[in-house]
């Protein structure tokens, strides 16, 4: 398997952000975390490019991710976990500590969120995936910057979301290097799009390609 790594992200220790709302978490990540852009258009049939900034850091128990999205179009039909969030205004994080020479055997995790914080998450290889249990889903902290109140589908929409993913769920400890990719999509939004942090080479939109995950590391504090 040819592994394509063009992007590397060094994620610093940030301590524990205050947990009361999106803005407090975002301020912590912006001041002490690392920034990346989710900007690669991998399929010319889908040229729409919302502006997506990612801020990342980790604490004693969590990997913290903050997404800020501009020039999107509102869609938030998924209101319960494990519904089809990728069809909505959506951001995603895929990762693995188990990259194998045969991509079909690589075990990886996907975390997909719409603007409300509704999440779909699973693990396994590309052909066989298991959804996280309700108990595991409850451990994923979500801090949406906006609610769905007052928004109409297709309306221009800037939005924010911060999430905290338990390190033990990811199989990570400080110092670990792992493979990951970050995405922005919206399959059924007014302007469908499929952006990534690390580039992808495939005939059709497909994020489930671990050979195109970039490299990330939790820096020792």
CATH number at residue 27: 2.60.40.1190
Q: Residue 143 belongs to what domain range?
A: 8-218
2 inside domain: no
Q: Hey, what are 7's tokens? A: 């992007």
Task: Examine the pLDDT at 16 and tell me if it is beyond 90.
Answer: no
- What is the average pLDDT value for the chain, to the nearest integer? 94
Q: What is the pLDDT of residue 113?
A: 98
3 inside domain: no
43 inside domain: yes
Please name the residue that has the structure tokens 């079909």: 104
125 inside domain: yes
Q: Do 183 and 194 contact (CB within 8 A), yes or no?
A: yes
Where residue 153 falls among pLDDT bands split at 50, 70, 90? very high
1 inside domain: no
Task: Examine the pLDDT at 1 and tell me if it is beyond 50.
Answer: no
Where residue 43 falls among pLDDT bands split at 50, 70, 90? very high
The DSSP code sequence of the chain is -------EEEEPB------S-HHHHHHHHHHHSEEEE--EE--TT-----EEEEEEEE-SSEEEEEEEEEEEE------STTS-GGGSSEEEEEEEEE--SSGGG-EEEEEEEETT--EEEEEE-SS-EEEPPHHHHHTSEEEES--STT--TT-EEEEEEEEEEEHHHHT--TT-EEEEEEEEE-TTSSS--EEESS----SS-----GGG-EEEEE---
Instruction: Tally the domains of the chain.
Output: 1
141 inside domain: yes
Q: What is the pLDDT of residue 2?
A: 53
Q: Do 111 and 126 contact (CB within 8 A), yes or no?
A: no
Q: What is the pLDDT of residue 3?
A: 55
Task: Examine the pLDDT at 211 and tell me if it is beyond 70.
Answer: yes
Summarize the confidence of residues 36-47 as an average pLDDT: 97
CA distance 219 to 111: 22
CA distance 46 to 195: 9
Q: Which of 206, 132, 200, 202 is CA-nearest to residue 165?
A: 132
CA distance 36 to 47: 20
Cβ atoms within 10 Å, residue 47:
9
Q: Phi and psi at residue 210, in whole multiples of 5°?
A: -60, -20
CA distance 185 to 193: 5
Task: Examine the pLDDT at 35 and tell me if it is beyond 60.
Answer: yes
């Amino acid at each position: 398997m040819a592994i394509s790594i063009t992007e590397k992200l060094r994620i610093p220790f940030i301590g524990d952000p205050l947990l009361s709302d999106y803005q407090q978490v975002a301020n912590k990540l912006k001041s002490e975390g690392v920034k990346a852009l989710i900007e690669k258009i991998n399929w010319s049939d889908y040229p729409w490019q919302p502006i997506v900034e990612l801020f990342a850091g980790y604490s004693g128990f969590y990997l913290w991710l903050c997404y800020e999205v501009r020039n999107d179009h509102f869609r938030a039909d998924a209101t319960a976990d494990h519904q089809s969030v990728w069809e909505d205004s959506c951001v995603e994080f895929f990762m693995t500590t188990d990259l194998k020479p045969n991509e079909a055997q690589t075990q990886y995790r996907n975390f997909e969120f719409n603007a409300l914080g509704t999440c779909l998450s699973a693990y396994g290889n590309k052909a066989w995936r298991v959804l996280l249990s309700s108990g595991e889903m409850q451990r994923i902290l979500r801090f949406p910057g906006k609610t769905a109140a007052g928004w109409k589908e297709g309306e221009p929409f800037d939005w924010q979301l911060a999430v905290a993913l338990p390190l033990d769920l990811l199989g990570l400890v400080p110092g670990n290097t792992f493979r990951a990719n970050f995405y922005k999509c919206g399959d059924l939004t007014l302007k469908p799009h499929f952006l990534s942090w690390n580039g992808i080479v495939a005939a059709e939109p497909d994020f489930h390609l671990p050979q195109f995950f970039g490299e990330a590391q939790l820096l020792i504090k």
